[in-house]
Amino acid sequence: MIVILSKDISPHDKEMARIYLKDRGFSVREQNFGEDAILGAIGKGVVDIRELGILPGVERVAATSKPYELASRETQSEDTIVTVGSVKIGGSRITVIAGPCAVESREQIRETAERVRESGAVILRGGAYKPRTSPYAFQGLGMKGLEFMKEAGEALNMPIVTEIVSTELADQIKDLTDMFQIGARNMQNFELLKKAGSLGKPVLLKRGPSATMEEWLMAAEYLLASGTKDVVLCERGIRTFETYTRNTLDISAIPVVKDLCHLPVIVDPSHAVGIRNKVAPAALAAIAAGADGLTVEVHPRPDTALSDGMQSLYPEQFERLMRDIEALAPVVGKELLRTPKTTVAAPGRSDVPPDAPDTRRNVENLPIAFSGESGAYAEQALMRVFGDDAHRVSLPSFKAVFDAALEGSVSAGVIPIENSLAGSIHENYDLFLRYPDIAIVGELKLRIMHCLIADERATIDGISIVRSHPQGFDQCREFLNKHLDWQLEPYANTASAVASIAREGAVKVAAIAGEAAAKAFGLKALKTGIETNPQNYTRFAIIARKAGDKAPVPPSLGSDQPNKASLVFSVSDEPGSLFICLKILSDKGLNLSKLESRPIQGRPWEYLFYIDVNLPQNTDVFNSAIEELKAKTRDFHFLGTYRAAR
C-alpha cells in the first residue's frame, strides 16, 4: 500500500501517519517518487483505507494489486530515470555500459576503458570479485582490481559498476564504485539485497537464470524497500532447454516488465548468448524491443581473457555495434547517450587559472531553447540530446531561438533544418546568414510520427478544420486527400496547433502533430501514423553563440571529435565556377553529404549553395580546403563543425 503525502505536510503530521501504519502491523519506508513524497506500507498489516485517507497531510492512498508495490507502475506511472555519477539511465536515451568481464591488470582495464569510451560507452563495467562455477577459475583481483577500475573511470569521466558478492564486502567497496551490480546468481540473496539497498547507491539488478519476471521484480522491491530509489533491471538471458547459446535471451521481458514497473530495463547480450558473433544481433534486438540500454563485455584481446573471452567483443566489433545502435535509435524514438570525456571544471574552481578564457560562459546553468509549445517535435529532439529533465524554455518562433542564443540567455537552441520528405527548412537556413555569430554545434535526426489530434469528445466524422505547420500538411498529404472537405489552417508549429484546440475547447477542429503534444494538452489521438511515408525524419541542429572563432559545445553533447561541417557560399557567374569549388573538395578527398542551391534574397537569379562535408581525421586537410574555397567563392559562411547523427 502506498500513502501519497501532500506537498505541505508538516513533520508532525508525517510522523503521525508513520506511527499509525506501524501500530497496525506495517513496515514503513519513506521515499520520493518524482515530485511526490510517499510512505510505503509493506507487510501484512490491516488498516481501514478510508480512515487512513483522512489523516492530516495524507493526499491519497493507493492500494496496489501487485506484491512489488514500490516498483509497480500503479505506484508511479512515470518512468524512473536513474542517475549514476554524470550518467542517466532511462527516458528517451540509450545508455551503454561496457568493459571486460574481469579486471586483470591496471593496463588491461585502462586500455579497455579508452577503447569503449572512444566508441561511445558512458559507464565502465568490470569484475573485481568474480563468483565462478569452478573454484579453480580466476576469481578476480579483489580490491586491487577495483582500485584499477576506479582509476580508469576517473581518468575518462566514466562512472563504474562492479558486482557485489557478499554483505561483508559491501562497506569496503561502496566508496570505490558508483553503482553496485547484483549478479544473476545473487538475485535472491535477500540479505545481500537488503544490504545493497540500505547503502543508498544505484543498483544494477540482473535477472536470475531461472527467475520469473515477478520474482525479478520482487528482488527489486527488496532493494527499494531497503533504501535505494535507483534500481536498474538487467535481462541477461534465462535457462531453457536450448543449449546452443549460453542462455536464452527473453526479449519479451523487456516490454512486459516496462509495462509492469517504472524502473529502467537494460539488457546484457553477452551473457544472454555467450557467443561473440551473436552478441551484436541480440543487442540490436533488445534496443528494438525498447531496452533503455545495454551492458556489453569488451576485451582488447578476448582470446587471452581470464574470464568469458568467448563472449567478449573485440573493440572493433564494439565500435561497429555502437554505430548500428546510433542508426537504429531514432527508429524506436530514442537517441544514443553521449557524455563529455573530461570533467567540466565548475565555475570558480581553484585549479582553473584565473586568466583562462571562459569559452563555455557557464552554459551548464542556462536553459536550452526550442520553438513551439510543450510537446513540440523540437522539444522531443531537445530531450533526446540533453535528457528528459533538461532545463528548457519554449519560445514563439525560430528567430526567437536565434535571438536567445545570441543574447546568451540560453546555452543552446534546437531548430529543425531539414525533413527527409519535405526537404530543407529554408527559413532557418536563412537565419544562419542573418546571425553570423551563431554556429551549429550538434545534430539529431528524429523520426516524425504524425497523429490527428482532437478534443476527447471529437470524432473523425465531425472534424471540419485541421491545423498544423505547412510541412505537417505536406507530410500527411495522402491522408488529407481522403478528406478534401476539411479546411486546412497553417500554424507556426505543430504543437501550437494542438494548444489552440485545448485553449478553445473546439470539438470540430483537429491538429496534425506528435502524440507527445496530445498528452501535453490533455487531448486524444483520433488516428496515429497518418504520415504518408513512415521513413519520415527531421534533422535538427543544435545551435550556440560563438565565443571567438568557435561555439562552445554544451556538456550534454559530449566531446566527441566533430565529423561534419556545414558551409554556405555563392560563386561568380562564369562557366565552371561551381565545378572549381567542388573539385577543391574532391581533390582533398572530402565527401559531400549535401549540396543544395537557394535563391539569394534581393538578388534575382543569384544563388547560394548549402554544403555539408564529412570531416577527415586530419583536420589540416579540411582547413586547407576551406582556405582555397574562400579564395574561389563569394558570400562565404562557415556554419560550424559538429558531431553528426549517423
Which amino acids are annotated catalytic? Answer: 538, 540
Residue 244 DSSP symbol: S
DSSP secondary structure of 4-26? EEPTT--HHHHHHHHHHHHHTT-
Nearest to 450 by CA among 503, 387, 514: 514
CB 243 within 8 A of CB 226: no
Q: Taking Cα atoms as reference points, which of 191, 204, 186, 188 lies closest to residue 130?
A: 186
Q: What is the DSSP string of 557-574?
A: G--PPP-EEEEEEE--SS
Q: Dihedrals φ, ψ of 172, to 5°?
A: -70, -40
The x, y and z cell numbers of residue 317, run together, are 566489433
3-state secondary structure 383-423: HHHHCCCCCEEEECCHHHHHHHHHHCCCCEEEEEEEECCCE
DSSP secondary structure letter of residue 431: H
The length of the chain is: 646
SS3 473: helix
How many other CB atoms sit within 10 Å of the CB of residue 343? 11
Collapsed DSSP state (helix, strand, coil) of residue 135: coil
Residues paired with 599 in a beta bridge: 607
Rounded distance, CA 639 to CA 624, Å?
17
Alpha-carbon distance 559 to 359, whole Å?
Answer: 14
- Cβ atoms of 111 and 300 within 8 Å: the answer is yes
150 and 177 Cβ atoms separated by less than 8 Å? yes
Q: Provide the b/e sequence for 249-266 (b: ≥16 CB within 10 Å).
A: bbbebbeebbebbbbbbb
State whether the Cα torsion 101-103-109-113 is positive or negative.
positive
Pairing of strands 203-206, 82-84: unpaired
Block residue for cell numbers 567542388: 582
Cβ atoms of 271 and 312 closer than 8 Å: no
- Distance CA(298)–CA(46), nearest Å, equals 51
Nearest-angstrom CA–CA distance, 477 and 530: 9
- DSSP string computed for 350-362: TTS-TTS--SSTT
User: Measured between alpha carbons, how far is 162 from 294 in angstroms, rounded to an integer?
Assistant: 15
Instruction: Identify the three-state secondary structure at position 432.
Output: helix
392-395/368-371 β-pairing: parallel
- What's the half-sphere exposure (Cβ side, CA atoms, 13 Å) at 560? 25
C-alpha cell at 401: 531561438
Ramachandran angles phi, psi of 249, nearest 5°: -70, 120
Residue 235 bridge partners (DSSP): 267
Residue 610's region, left for phi above 0, alpha for psi from -120 to 50, else beta, is beta
User: Can you say whether residue 251 is alpha, beta or left, with left for phi > 0 and alpha for psi between -120 and 50 degrees?
Assistant: alpha
